[in-house]
Amino acid sequence: MVGRFQIKEAAMNCVICKTGQISAGNAIVTLQRGETTLVIKNVPADVCDNCGEYYLSEKMAERVLELGESAVKKGVEVEVMRWAA
Ligand SMILES: [Zn+2]
């Protein structure tokens, strides 16, 4: 399948730096597909305290992807938004 957003799933240990501790925090999530770039601030996520990599829960990833899909449908080029719980 072409053009799917890729979101990393939650993990206990940081898979990027291997040494980081992951704890609850907020992330800035950037989605890109074709001509659409969507930046979502303040997304609840597990964040690595070492390298800053973030991990979204499955539920959060779904909601983030929904926002991404609707941005694509609207023909958004660049949009910055804040997560609304
Ligand atoms: Zn890390």
Name the pTM for this structure.
0.78
Q: How far is the CA of 37 from the centre of ligand 1 (A)?
A: 24
More confident residue, 85 or 30: 30
DSSP character for 15?
Answer: T
Q: Does residue 63 lie within any of the structural domains?
A: yes
Q: Does residue 15 lie within any of the structural domains?
A: no
Q: How far is the CA of 85 from the centre of ligand 1 (A)?
A: 26
Domain tally, the chain: 1
Residue 2 neighbours by CB under 8 Å, 6+ apart = none
Taking only Cα atoms into account, the Rg of the chain, rounded to an integer number of angstroms, comes to: 13
Q: Does residue 61 lie within any of the structural domains?
A: yes
Q: How far is the CA of 31 from the centre of ligand 1 (A)?
A: 20
Q: Does residue 55 lie within any of the structural domains?
A: yes
Distance CA 44, CA 2 (A): 27
Which residue range(s) make up the domain with 29?
22-82
Q: Does residue 26 lie within any of the structural domains?
A: yes
More confident residue, 77 or 3: 77
- CATH of residue 39: 3.10.20.860
* pLDDT, tens only, 11-69: 478 999 999 999 999 999 999 999 999 999 999 999 999 999 999 999 999 999 999 99
